[in-house]
Amino acid sequence: MREQSTDETALVAAARRGDPAARDRLVSAYLPLVYNVVGRALNGHADVDDVVQDTLLRALSGLDGLRDPARFRAWLVAIAMNQVRRRWSVAQRRPLPLDTAADGPAQGDFAELAILRLGLSGQRREVAEATRWLDPADRQVLSLWWLEAAGELTRGDVATALGLSRAHTGVRVQRVKGQLDVCRQVVRALGARDECAALGALTEEWDGTPGPLWRKRIARHVRGCGRCGRSAADLLPVDGLLAGTGLVAVPLSLHSAPFAGHGTAALAAHGGAAHGAVAVHRVLDAGRRVFRPGTAAKATAAGAAVAAAALLIAVYRAPEKAPDAAPPVRPTVSAPLASQPPAFPTATATASAEVTPTTAAPSPTPTRTRTRAPSAAVPATETASRLDLLDRTNALRAQSGCAPLRTDPRLTRVAQNDARAVAARGAVDPPGGRTGDVGERVTAAGYSWTSVGEAAAYGDKDAAAVAREWAEDHMRQLLVDCRYTDVGVGLVVSGDRRAWTEVLAGSG
């Protein structure tokens, strides 16, 4: 597998120091990799160029925070995948799906581009055609694993981009490979459907567009049809087919994109962030912090974005003092949140003393004009809401085979204080905000961690809506990370707005 070379690391270091020529060379060197990751993940959609440009702009703007140039490749691919997930998330809220021409004419699907530009034939061509039948989430994993199989990425790069451990990444990759093999069987059967009357009759009403429903129908037929089953019997292992396939050439439109050598200035010119929809991604891996502020996607830059729940993911990893291992055995029942603090004042109320998980906020005095609710007025409702969100998070983790999270009073204090900060701002953490220091705050709270992360949301959504949004967005990768064992849940209600936080950590 391809490791980042010493020359590449030196180039990254020079670009980080602000050398314009080095920045230009860095973009030229990594543009093909980013284009292939994004292009295959989005299947050649018209937004591919935009996502590629956004990725490189964000990488250039965040170089100052990259402590270890040797981590650049993995960091860059992780940014690319976050941009892909964000684009899918925005598309799911549009009236038309991403695969339509809602944003203008498409470039042509990436499978066809790969076939033409790489000269694929035989079973390699069938593999490329089979990618059209994958679900979007599987296609994202495939876009990374394809480049690993082709020798462009390491398994560590793939794991970093997915936000998973190496072991969990291996499981995900195996599942996608299995699904890809099913899709290859579908492609092989369709290529010879004139020889099978039953398959011809089955697909008589099919419009020729790959989709999950027809994939299931045709795959079911292949499993039960001797003729079609035999036609797929000689399929070779996909790993060997992809070895050395190379990268799809970058289109001319991207070679002239306005990101080379401009860094933060280009990012600012590319588009401003809508208030209330700022997204920030930070990674601290092996003791090194990486910072990338970003703008919201174009579709969310309108005024409607202000009312939408803003999302934030902050993932941290301590220095790699222990290899990936199976998570420790944990109880199957989460500890109750009975000691959680009660409701906090609105964003316009006066500041109160720092809240601890065992001490209720003081009751209002008769002389105050602005008072907070007495400690017995709302706590039951808010505690129930916190428990509801935690239960939904644990249900999501169970789907991925992770043990339920246990509430920890130290993490609860951090989460509640962060929720107060979000409520006071009326938005999720802006660039340079304090959420980027969650690792330090958890340490200050007395929790010795090896991995820590935080999810946050702000808006008018209840626990069910927040959990659903997190489960459907890139936040899912954080919540289903089996390394996390403990959690603190924060909630502040301010009128019809709610600030939610979950601080997850593991110490094993």
Q: For 382-426, give the DSSP string.
A: HHHHHHHHHHHHHHHHHHTTPPPPEE-HHHHHHHHHHHHHHHHHT
pLDDT tens per residue, range 197-217: 999 999 999 999 999 999 999
More confident residue, 315 or 381: 381
- Give residue 129's pLDDT: 93
156-160, 210-214, 257-261, 312-316: lowest mean pLDDT where?
A: 312-316
Give me the mean pLDDT over the 83-102 stretch. Answer: 60
Q: Is 348 helix (H, G, I), strand (E, B) or coil?
A: coil
CB 368 within 8 A of CB 448: no
Q: Which amino acid, 431?
A: P
- Give residue 130's pLDDT: 93
Going by the DSSP 8-state scheme, the letter that residue 82 receives in this structure is H
Residue 126 has pLDDT above 80, yes or no: yes
Per-residue pLDDT band at 460 (split at 50, 70, 90): confident
Spatial separation of the C-alpha atoms in residues 507 and 408, rounded to whole Å: 12
pLDDT tens per residue, range 279-307: 223 222 322 222 233 333 333 333 333 23
Tokens of 55: 């990725």
Q: Which amino acid, 301?
A: A
Spatial separation of the C-alpha atoms in residues 372 and 464, rounded to whole Å: 26
- Give residue 477's pLDDT: 86
Tokens of 505: 């950590």
Spatial separation of the C-alpha atoms in residues 442 and 452, rounded to whole Å: 8
Average pLDDT, the chain: 73
Spatial separation of the C-alpha atoms in residues 53 and 49, rounded to whole Å: 6
pLDDT tens per residue, range 96-125: 444 443 333 344 578 888 888 788 888 989
Beta strand extents in 247-338 (DSSP E only): 279-285, 288-294, 310-317
Residue 502 has pLDDT above 90, yes or no: yes
Q: Which helix (H) or strand (E) holds 502?
A: strand 497-506
Nearest to 137 by CA among 453, 401, 473, 455: 473
What is the percent of the chain where pLDDT is above 90? 29
More confident residue, 270 or 412: 412
Domains and CATH numbers, the chain: 1-93+106-244 (1.10.1740.10), 380-507 (3.40.33.10)
Nearest to 490 by CA among 345, 341, 354, 380: 341
| Greatest mean pLDDT among 66-80, 185-199, 233-247 | 185-199
- Give residue 92's pLDDT: 56
Per-residue pLDDT band at 230 (split at 50, 70, 90): confident
Beta strand extents in 48-180 (DSSP E only): none
SS3 of 160-172: HHHCCCHHHHHHH
Q: Please state whether beta strands 497-506 and 279-285 pair in parallel, antiparallel, or not at all (unpaired).
A: unpaired
| Prediction pTM value | 0.49
More confident residue, 48 or 243: 48
- Give residue 44's pLDDT: 72
